[in-house]
């Protein structure tokens, strides 16, 4: 069964996924809303940036984050100057990496959901005296609820399975950065196949259940929209 260190890794992974999902929903909602509504000519540039983690090898992303967050990097250096510890090889660094890594999995379903809501219900709300913020919270968000559900589950599930980014910027510090996928890798390296089985099987099952939930709840869901949809 699971050893203590496996359980520590499991809890850390869940903590990371929950935190990442929460941050992504907070940041991704306004971004997705803006992408869904703007008529800016060059919004495709931003959409391409959001989609980048879909195609980029996680190690590449992790590598650049390591450089940026490390003591000699622009962000890490600045933090060092301010008296803070650099973020490389910390849980916070891991959260930052995960947020970037899972960004498209949250932003794209939200953007699709907002596009599907369309302008009309919001115009109706405007003629019913609702201010822009009011109609965003009372019309746009409730009508886009299936998109939020999909976004939350995909963001969560995708963060669970993260490996390359963690390896690059998190390393393998038990209780701090040693997440499930790293623990599995360790077990395989150490030829502890039985323990690797437990963790891998569990992760497989969990991911499958989460995706079933997404597809069952949101029948029209399409995975990974790479092109911006026309508004």
Partner 1 sequence: MIALQLPIRRDSFALDINLELPASGISGILGPSGCGKTSLLRALAGLDKHNGGKLAVGDHCWQSETVFVPAHRRGVGYVFQEATLFEHLNVEQNLHYGLKRVPEAERRVSLQQAIELLDIARLLKRKPAGLSGGERQRVAIARALAVSPELLLMDEPLAGLDFAMKQEVLSYIATLQQQLEIPVIYVSHVAEEVARLADHLVLMDNNGVVASGPATEMFTRLDLPLAQHSDAAAIIEARAVRYDEEYDLTSLEFNGGQITVAGRAASMEEIVRLQIAARDVSLTLEQQHNTSILNILPAVVEDIYENSRASVTVKLSANGVPLLCRMTRKSAQELGLKAGLSVFAQVKSVALLV
Q: Which residues bind partner 1 (CB under 8 A)?
A: 120-121, 123-132, 134-135, 138-139, 142-143, 145
Least Cβ distance, residue 130 to partner 1 (angstroms): 6
Shortest separation between residue 127's beta carbon and partner 1, angstroms:
4
Listing DSSP states for 39-105 in one string gives --TTHHHHHHHHHHHHHS-HHHHHHHHHHHHSTTSHHHHHHHHTTPPP-TTSHHHHHHHHHHHHHHH
Q: Is the Cβ of residue 75 or residue 126 nearer to partner 1 in the bound state?
A: 126
Q: Please say which residue, 129 or 222, places its beta carbon nearer to partner 1.
A: 129
């599995």: which residue's tokens? 184
> Nearest 10 degrees: CA dihedral of 117, 40, 224, 135?
-30
Rounded CA-CA distance 61/101 in Å is 8
- Phi-psi label, residue 129: left if phi above 0, alpha if psi -120 to 50, beta otherwise: left
If the CB atoms of residues 7 and 145 are measured against partner 1, the closer one turns out to be: 145
The smaller minimum CB distance to partner 1, of residues 131 and 227, is found at: 131
Least gap, CB of 140 to partner 1 (angstroms) = 11
For the record, the structure tokens of 231 come out as 């508004």
Q: Are 103 and 115 in contact (CB under 8 A)?
A: no
Closest CB to partner 1 among residues 17, 122: 122
User: In the complex, what is the shortest distance from the CB of residue 44 to partner 1, in angstroms, rounded to a whole number?
Assistant: 20
Minimum Å gap between C-beta 132 and partner 1 is 8
């Amino acid at each position: 069964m699971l050893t203590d260190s496996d359980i520590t890794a499991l809890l850390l992974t869940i903590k990371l996924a929950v935190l990442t999902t929460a941050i992504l929903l907070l940041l991704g909602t306004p971004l997705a809303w803006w992408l869904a509504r703007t008529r800016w000519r060059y919004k495709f540039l931003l959409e391409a940036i959001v989609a980048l983690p879909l195609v980029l090898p996680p190690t590449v992303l992790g590598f650049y984050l390591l450089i940026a967050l490390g003591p000699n990097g622009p962000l890490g250096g600045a933090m060092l100057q301010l008296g803070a510890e650099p973020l490389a090889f910390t849980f916070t660094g891991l959260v930052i990496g995960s947020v970037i890594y899972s960004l498209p999995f949250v932003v794209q379903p939200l953007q699709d959901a907002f596009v599907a809501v369309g302008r009309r219900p919001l115009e109706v709300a405007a003629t019913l005296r609702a201010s822009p913020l009011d109609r965003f919270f009372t019309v746009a968000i409730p009508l886009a609820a299936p998109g939020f559900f999909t976004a939350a589950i995909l963001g969560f599930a995708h963060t669970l399975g993260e490996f390359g980014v963690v390896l690059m910027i998190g390393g393998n510090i038990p209780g701090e950065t040693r997440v499930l996928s790293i623990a599995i890798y360790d077990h395989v390296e150490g030829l502890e196949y039985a323990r690797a089985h437990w963790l891998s099987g569990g992760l497989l099952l969990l991911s499958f259940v989460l995706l079933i939930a997404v597809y069952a709840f949101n029948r029209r869901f399409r995975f990974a929209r790479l092109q911006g949809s026309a508004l």
